Amino acid sequence: MISVLEKEITFRYLKTRKKDGFLNVISIFSFIGISLGVAVLIIVMSVMNGFRNELIDKIVGFNAHVIVDPYEKEIDQSKLNDNNLQLISNDLIFSSNGEAVLLNKDFTKGIILRGYKKDDFLKLQIINNKNFVGDKSNLTGNKISIGKELSFSLNLKIGDKVSVMSSTGVETIIGNLPKQQTFIVNSIFDSGFSEFDHNVAFINLDYLEDFFNFDESSRNLEVYLKNPSDIENSKNIVQSIFKDHFIYTWSDMNSSLFSALKVERNVMFIILSLIIIVAAFNIISGLTILVKNKTREIAILKSIGVLNKSITKIFFLVGVIIGSSATLFGIILGVTFSIYIENVRTLLSSIFNISLFPEEIYFLSKMPSEINFFSIFIISISSIIITIIVSIFPAIKASKLDPVKSLKYE
């Protein structure tokens, strides 16, 4: 417990006095340093979380959430009615894909062809965004839907014809020759990822199977989940239903990318935490000078019977109050900045006439930010713990002062 005397003396030491000018400067810099450290950490973590979630939204927008690969055994369609599968999924779509070479005048490009039934193609998220151009309901015959980046590279427009060479061959009297077909571009999609737009195209499933000499038993099952973020649990449920097939998810296909983001976020947290640690060391300096300046008062307090533990509490509380109030101010500053970070980016871009966070590099139209209250809690606790640790030494040093020696030299 903290006594009334301890509270009074603590708040008295926190008040500004002219003769403590240098001490006040140190305290102010400690406060500002910790506040900025906490605010910067919150802002960086919010932007990293926002970027990760935006990335996930884009990836799940053009990839199936869970894919069931049949290997050599055909997928049992009766299992599609499984209650657990129905509970976690929005759509179940059969698809197939193959590698091909796209030919256009003097340009050749290796691409991946994905095949869907006409009605299933309409269910894809990538087809139903505002950037899709063309007829989305006519993926039949030799119609093909290509990415925006591929259309730019090959200078293709809707209605243009393009030749595609299959990786499988046709037996002729002169040997095995690659199968080649002419496709008509009937739509152009924009996923927001240049790699995907440049390397993937969609055609009708039946036409794809004929083009690559596939049969229906090789079709994959694409599972689109109600909650794509709960990917591990959903993968286990799908695996329990389709035990004889290979199951992989959007997370598995992009594991290296998300591992890199996780490492980067953790490293940023560690590096930026050093700002708080450096600022907290100012508290040690401030409290040490405060103890030096209050030597006579400490001696008087001890002379009238104030216990050592009370002296320790007083100086400990001074450090903790400075650190805690700075942490609280930093939280308010960081959260406010995170909420309005896009407005700040727009303002700075207009003032300095530069492009901050350019869309063509990051594939995002605005600065992403998502406030994670658990991250704020961890940052706050870390800041307060650092403050507590650095406040202990000066407080103990103050309690160990000898009142006789202190008064002798005053």
Closest Cα to residue 222, out of 82, 84, 93, 78? Answer: 93
Report if residue 313 sits inside a domain. Answer: yes
Pairing mode, strands 220-225 and 66-69 = antiparallel
Q: What is the mean pLDDT of residues 236-258?
A: 84
> Within this chain, do residues 136 and 159 fall inside the same structural domain, yes or no?
yes
> Within this chain, do residues 221 and 274 fall inside the same structural domain, yes or no?
no
Report if residue 65 sits inside a domain. Answer: no
Q: Looking at 64-68, 180-184, 346-350, which range is the least confident one?
A: 346-350
> Within this chain, do residues 165 and 110 fall inside the same structural domain, yes or no?
yes
What are the tokens at 404? 């006789």
> Within this chain, do residues 273 and 339 fall inside the same structural domain, yes or no?
yes
> Within this chain, do residues 80 and 220 fall inside the same structural domain, yes or no?
yes
* pLDDT for the residue 113: 92
> Within this chain, do residues 151 and 31 fall inside the same structural domain, yes or no?
no
- For the stretch 272-320, pLDDT in tens is 778 778 777 777 777 777 777 777 777 777 777 777 788 888 878 888 8
Report if residue 253 sits inside a domain. Answer: no
Q: What percent of the chain has pLDDT over 90?
A: 8
Do residues 97 and 203 make contact, with C-beta atoms less than 8 angstroms apart? Answer: no
Q: Looking at 186, 213, 244, which one is the last position of a domain? A: 244
Q: Looking at 244, 276, 300, which one is the last position of a domain? A: 244
* pLDDT for the residue 105: 75
> Within this chain, do residues 267 and 311 fall inside the same structural domain, yes or no?
yes
Report if residue 133 sits inside a domain. Answer: yes
Report if residue 61 sits inside a domain. Answer: no
> Within this chain, do residues 263 and 233 fall inside the same structural domain, yes or no?
no
Comparing 400 with 238, which gets the higher pLDDT? 238
d(CA 179, CA 68): 28
> Within this chain, do residues 188 and 324 fall inside the same structural domain, yes or no?
no
> What's the chain's Rg over C-alpha atoms?
33
Q: Which residue range forms the structural domain that includes residue 91?
A: 71-244
Report if residue 391 sits inside a domain. Answer: yes
> Within this chain, do residues 175 and 291 fall inside the same structural domain, yes or no?
no
Identify the band that residue 328 occupies on the pLDDT scale cut at 50, 70 and 90: very high
Report if residue 66 sits inside a domain. Answer: no
Domain count, the chain: 2
CB atoms within 10 A of CB 2: 11
Q: Is 191 helix (H, G, I), strand (E, B) or coil?
A: coil
The angle subtended at Cα 180 by Cα 176 and Cα 183, nearest 5°, is 165
**CA 192 to each of CA 55, 61, 188: distance values in angstroms, whole numbers, following the listed order:** 10, 10, 12
* Rama region for 95: left / alpha / beta (φ>0; ψ in -120 to 50; rest): beta
> Within this chain, do residues 33 and 114 fall inside the same structural domain, yes or no?
no
> Within this chain, do residues 206 and 353 fall inside the same structural domain, yes or no?
no
The DSSP annotation for 325-379 comes to HHHHHHHHHHHHHHHTHHHHHHHHHHHHT--SS-HHHH--SS------HHHHHHH
Do residues 185 and 151 make contact, with C-beta atoms less than 8 angstroms apart? Answer: yes
Report if residue 249 sits inside a domain. Answer: no
Identify the band that residue 22 occupies on the pLDDT scale cut at 50, 70 and 90: very low
Do residues 169 and 179 make contact, with C-beta atoms less than 8 angstroms apart? Answer: yes
**Which range has highest mean pLDDT (181-185, 294-298, 386-390)?**
181-185
Q: Looking at 244, 269, 303, which one is the last position of a domain? A: 244
The DSSP annotation for 262-302 comes to HHHHHHHHHHHHHHHHHHHHHHHHHHHHHHHHTHHHHHHHH
